[in-house]
Amino acid sequence: MTRVDTLLAGLARERSTGALRVGRNGTIFLADGRVTYMECAQAPSVERLLAARGLTTEAALRGLQADGGCERLLAEGPVTAGELQYAVLGGVLDAAFFLLPISGSRPKFRPGERHWLGGQWFFDVPGLVRECARRRAQLAQAWPSADVDSLPVRPLGRLPGHAVTLSRVQWEVLVRADHKATPLELAKQIGRPAYPVLLAVRRLAASGLLAAPDPAPAHGLPKRGRQPAAERPPHDPTAATLPLGPPVTGNPTDLALLMRLKKALEELS
């Protein structure tokens, strides 16, 4: 089965112009062999990213698609060229991260088709492939198990220590986490690109700030609405399943040390 990144590289060599539709997963738009825009069902759209920043509304942006497009959007002034470029960059890199590793979906190329936001900025295919590889490596370095990418974000009720330092994205994730939404769902709610949210969740897991997932039942049908395992984001399909938080052993020496520390803290309080 041919991967999307391989098909895209071929279209780039042929200097193709049009849209490569990857089933229901998303669409890649090209002009003269360069990517102008990507959209992906798993990641927040550019419309969502702009609306979340209070720059405009999603309804207003949809109205511009058939009436003036990108030129009118910039001319009317609710969004500057820099703000739009930043949102498009985040949306394209997100979509590339999810779409390029897909294989077996039978993408269809439609020559000449363009996106209403395309034609302003261009991305070369090899550069997108390199950036996706860098992001996958960064995720694996932060926390090597991809399980947390598709599980509900469940913060602990109590801190494992006396203090913790959080990034802005981590704070937004913890504030919005309802123990039901996955990282990708939270990204759409928050209005941030999906990758920074995935990275924030993995770092929260590495810090021991997330509750371990419930054990899966031995029998029974999968829950309705859950994405099949084969279609989940292919961040690192070979990653091992790891427990959340630092490892805990049953070593008597470790337990004795913990008990002494607990007693000392109780005496200080």
Regarding whether 86 and 24 lie in a shared domain, the answer is: yes
CA distance 92 to 85: 10
147 found inside a domain: yes
Q: Which of 26-40, 172-186, 244-258 is predicted least confidently?
A: 244-258
Across the chain, what does the average pLDDT equal?
82
Taking every pair of C-alpha atoms in the chain, what is the biggest distance, in angstroms? 74
Give pTM, 2 decimals: 0.78
Most confident of 112-121, 127-136, 247-256: 127-136
Average pLDDT over residues 19-44: 95
Regarding whether 93 and 26 lie in a shared domain, the answer is: yes
Q: What is the pLDDT of residue 265?
A: 56
Least Cα distance to 20 among 10, 30, 12 occurs for: 30
Q: Reply yes or no on whether the pLDDT at 29 is more than 50.
A: yes
CA distance 185 to 162: 30
CA distance 143 to 159: 19
Average pLDDT over residues 150-154: 95
Burial of 147 (0-12, 13-18, 19+ CB in 10 A): middle
Q: What is the pLDDT of residue 178?
A: 94
Tally of structural domains, the chain: 2
Regarding whether 155 and 126 lie in a shared domain, the answer is: no
226 found inside a domain: no
Classify the C-alpha dihedral 181-191-230-133 as positive or negative: negative
* Torsion angle of C-alpha atoms 190, 135, 155, 168, degrees rounded to 10: -50
Regarding whether 186 and 82 lie in a shared domain, the answer is: no
220 found inside a domain: no
Regarding whether 8 and 124 lie in a shared domain, the answer is: yes
Regarding whether 247 and 179 lie in a shared domain, the answer is: yes
33 found inside a domain: yes
Average pLDDT over residues 142-156: 93
Q: What is the pLDDT of residue 59?
A: 82
Terminal CA-CA length for the chain: 62
Strands 26-31 and 108-111: unpaired
Distance of CA 113 to the CA centre of its chain: 26
218 found inside a domain: no
Contact 149, 197 (CB under 8 A): no
Distance of CA 90 to the CA centre of its chain: 10
CA distance 198 to 186: 10
What is the tens place of the pLDDT at every residue in 220-263?
444 444 444 333 444 554 455 555 544 444 444 445 555 555 55
Distance of CA 155 to the CA centre of its chain: 19
CA distance 168 to 129: 28
CA distance 55 to 70: 15
Regarding whether 79 and 168 lie in a shared domain, the answer is: no
Domain boundary among 83, 107, 131: 131
CA distance 10 to 91: 23
Q: Reply yes or no on whether the pLDDT at 268 is more than 90.
A: no
Regarding whether 191 and 99 lie in a shared domain, the answer is: no
- CA angle 198–204–207, rounded 5-degree value: 145
- CA angle 83–84–86, rounded 5-degree value: 65
31 found inside a domain: yes
Q: Reply yes or no on whether the pLDDT at 69 is more than 90.
A: no
Q: Which of 16-20, 114-118, 143-147 is predicted least confidently?
A: 114-118
224 found inside a domain: no
Q: In the structure, what pLDDT confidence band is assigned to residue 81 with cuts at 50, 70 and 90?
A: confident
What is the tens place of the pLDDT at every residue in 189-231?
999 999 999 999 999 999 999 998 776 554 444 444 444 433 3
Least Cα distance to 205 among 134, 138, 258, 144 occurs for: 144
Better pLDDT: 249 or 61: 61
Q: In the structure, what pLDDT confidence band is assigned to residue 151 with cuts at 50, 70 and 90?
A: very high
Contact 235, 149 (CB under 8 A): yes
Regarding whether 200 and 81 lie in a shared domain, the answer is: no
Q: What is the pLDDT of residue 161?
A: 80
Regarding whether 183 and 124 lie in a shared domain, the answer is: no
Domain boundary among 87, 110, 131: 131
Q: What is the pLDDT of residue 230?
A: 37
Name the percent of the chain lying above pLDDT 90: 52
Domain extent, residue 195, equals 143-213+232-265
